[in-house]
Amino acid sequence: MKFIKPTVASQISDASDANDVLTSAEQGKLWATYMGNTMAICVMSHMLEHVQDPDIKRVLQHALSTSGQFVQTIKDIMTKDHFPVPIGFTEDDVIKGAPRLFADDFYLHYLKYLGKAGLSMYSIAVPIVTRPDIREFFTQCVSLTLDLMNMVNDGLIAKGLITKPPYTPYPKKIDFIKKQSYLNGFFGEIRPLQAMEITHLYDNIENTATSKAVLIAFSQVAKSEQAKAYFVRGKEIAGKHHAQFNRFLERENLASPPIVDHLVTASTVSPFSDKLMLFHKLDMFAMRIRSYGNAVSLSARHDLAAKYGRFLLQVGDYVEDGANILIDHGWLEQPPEAADREALIASE
């Protein structure tokens, strides 16, 4: 599929008032989008060095072009507003010529994993930003990311790389819940999983499968022992979550997405800086908190909701430890923040 849409920058109107400064929501979302997409550009540039399948290569090129447009548009907005452009991730975070770290098929799984995180970021931004040009930008981000996700899914389906979400029988009639036992999960009468519970189990199994493969790869190539140990720990967490989510579906004879560990090569030469890899997993596990929180809000069975609650605590601890490692090395850029009034008063 050829990328024929005009660039994001050309579609953003220049309608902002000179006095209409960026709100905290606009600053925060632009900053996070810049960081995430500069990271993605680095990862995809390595993938494009090695991809051989022409269909997958086209999807990767499309994804790289889209991320590049997002980054350039944010640079333009920040420069015009005299807002400091973050460093993010650059060509210094990619080691050119490093051996292939993943098989071609994995690239599609990875782009789906990345696209879900992007959609979560951009779709939440649209209703909370107020400046017309920023809202228009994030609207375009949603639209272009949806285009990419459709390309990725088409590729996964065409190559037989996707397991469809489980089928459930159509209801025979409209009915209402009559017993509080509908909420049971540990004792007494336990009902089958309902469609939304199955949906989020499937989604989280798919996410943890891809995340586990990335963590295996990063643990093989990390330069520092501290980073290596962090990735090994993350791999164990992702593996445990994948297995326990999968068990809920297996108990009811429902299919689930498979692991994709076999799509990681045996390379021990890193194509990325430890800084990039640590931030990558910090960022994606932080997104996992949102995914689990969304899932628990739609899971009525007590046992499933309790499982998400325990996993949220584990993921939260993991994210905090990753942030501490980045801070210790001076690698974690500070997001925009509110004025420190106490410090301002003390400085007078």
Q: What is the pLDDT of residues 65-110, one digit of tens each?
A: 999 999 999 999 999 999 999 999 999 999 999 999 999 999 999 9
Residue 197 within a domain = yes
Tokens of 245: 């989510």
Rounded to an integer, what distance in angstroms lies between the CA atom of residue 335 and that of residue 243? Answer: 35
pLDDT in tens, 220-265: 999 999 999 999 999 999 999 999 999 999 999 999 999 999 999 9
> Is there a single domain that holds both residue 126 and residue 262?
no
> Is there a single domain that holds both residue 28 and residue 107?
yes
Q: What's the number of domains the chain is made of?
A: 2
Residue 337 within a domain = no
Who's near 239: CB < 8 A, 6+ residues apart?
Answer: 208, 212
> Is there a single domain that holds both residue 96 and residue 189?
no
Residue 347 within a domain = no
Look up the domain containing 102 and give its range: 20-158
Where does the pLDDT of residue 14 fall: very low under 50, low under 70, confident under 90, or very high at 90 and above? low
pLDDT in tens, 299-341: 889 999 999 999 999 999 999 999 999 999 999 999 998 877 7
Residue 286 within a domain = yes
> Is there a single domain that holds both residue 193 and residue 147?
no
> Is there a single domain that holds both residue 185 and residue 324?
yes
pTM of the model: 0.91
> Is there a single domain that holds both residue 222 and residue 318?
yes
Rounded to an integer, what distance in angstroms lies between the CA atom of residue 247 and that of residue 240? Answer: 11
Rounded to an integer, what distance in angstroms lies between the CA atom of residue 128 and that of residue 135? Answer: 8
Return the pLDDT at 338.
Answer: 85
Q: Tell me what the pLDDT averaged over the chain comes to.
A: 92
Where does the pLDDT of residue 2 fall: very low under 50, low under 70, confident under 90, or very high at 90 and above? very low
Return the pLDDT at 340.
Answer: 73
> Is there a single domain that holds both residue 94 and residue 227?
no
In the chain, the percentage of residues whose pLDDT exceeds 90 is 82
Residue 14 within a domain = no
Where does the pLDDT of residue 3 fall: very low under 50, low under 70, confident under 90, or very high at 90 and above? very low
* 117-141 average pLDDT score: 96
CATH number at residue 235: 1.20.1260.10
> Is there a single domain that holds both residue 194 and residue 322?
yes
> Is there a single domain that holds both residue 151 and residue 184?
no
Own/partner pairs for 296-303, CB < 8 Å, 24+ apart? 298/196, 298/197, 298/200, 299/196, 299/197, 299/200, 300/182, 300/183, 300/194, 300/197, 301/183, 301/184, 301/185, 301/190, 301/191, 301/193, 301/197, 302/183, 302/184, 302/185, 302/186, 303/185, 303/186, 303/190
